[in-house]
Amino acid sequence: MVVKRRYASAQRQEQARRTRNAVLDAAATLFVDPGYAATPLTAVAARAGVAVQTVYAVFGSKRNLLSALLDRTIAGDDEPVALPQRAFVAEIHALAGPEAKLARYAVHLEQTNARQVDVMLALLNAASADADAAAILRKNDEERRRGMLMFAAELAGTGRLRAGHDVESAADVLWLAMDVRNYDWLVRRRGWTPERYREWYVRTTAAALLDAAAGP
């Protein structure tokens, strides 16, 4: 009997996971076009093939759905794994030189921006007129800033920061360079390859932040 209950519980968990992802997939489409403000939760529910009550039961509100969508889009999954515990962070930490660290981060950044560009641009557009979207954008900005402070500290630890830079100012440069609008402009609008975008990121941040004379 215990085995049967465990099996039933596993089935319910898997069904809940599929339902959650179906709603997030629907939101990922509709919040981009026609847009967050123009999309009621009834439309999200219809596209996901569930009742609107199910959407409320899983997410609680439209704002929470947008926040969850952004989190999944940025992370690439819906797993509750904090940024410091992500594999790419450990990989960056294991590298010795700042150029290698920037190059590894550039791969992560390009992959993340490729996933998130449509949702992030939709959020930026929605935030100009919707208070909930604006609050989520501010939260995202704060999280990105904290992430770049971590990365700036990682680079500072190599002893290669250019004179006049500290962790705070280095984080400012990294925060600016990672902006998804750079990816949108260079890759999607100007037709740069992902490889050229990654090279641009490394060259730009290294030139701004690193003391080349102190390099290997």
CB-based contacts of 85-92 (< 8 A; 24+ apart in sequence) = 89/150, 92/151, 92/154
Structure confidence by residue, pLDDT tens digits, 112-163: 999 999 999 999 999 999 999 999 999 999 999 999 999 999 999 999 999 9
| CB contact at 8 A, 121 and 127 | no
pLDDT on residue 80 = 73
Partners of 210 in beta bridges = 161
Position with higher pLDDT, 46 vs 6: 46
pLDDT on residue 3 = 56
pLDDT on residue 86 = 86
- CATH of range 81-214; options 3.40.50.720, 1.10.357.10, 1.10.3720.10, 3.30.450.40: 1.10.357.10
pLDDT confidence band for 84 (50 / 70 / 90): confident
| CB contact at 8 A, 194 and 144 | no
CATH 1.10.10.60 matches 1-61: yes
C-alpha 211: how far from chain center:
29
Residue 26 in this model has a pLDDT that exceeds 90: yes
Q: What pTM was computed for the model?
A: 0.89
Assigned token pair, 128: 């100009």
Mean pLDDT of 49-63: 97
pLDDT on residue 25 = 97
To which residue do tokens 């992030």 refer?
Answer: 120
pLDDT on residue 214 = 62
Scored b (16 or more CB within 10 A) or e, 73-104 reads bbbeeeeeeeeeeeeebeebeebeebbebbbb
Give the integer Cα–Cα distance in Å for 64 and 87. Answer: 26
Position with higher pLDDT, 139 vs 216: 139
Percent of the chain with pLDDT strictly greater than 70: 94
Alpha helices, DSSP H only, in the chain? 2-30, 41-48, 52-59, 62-75, 87-94, 98-127, 131-156, 167-177, 180-183, 194-209
Mean pLDDT of 104-109: 98
Which amino acid, 201? Y
Domain borders along the chain are: 1-61, 81-214
Mean pLDDT of 95-113: 97
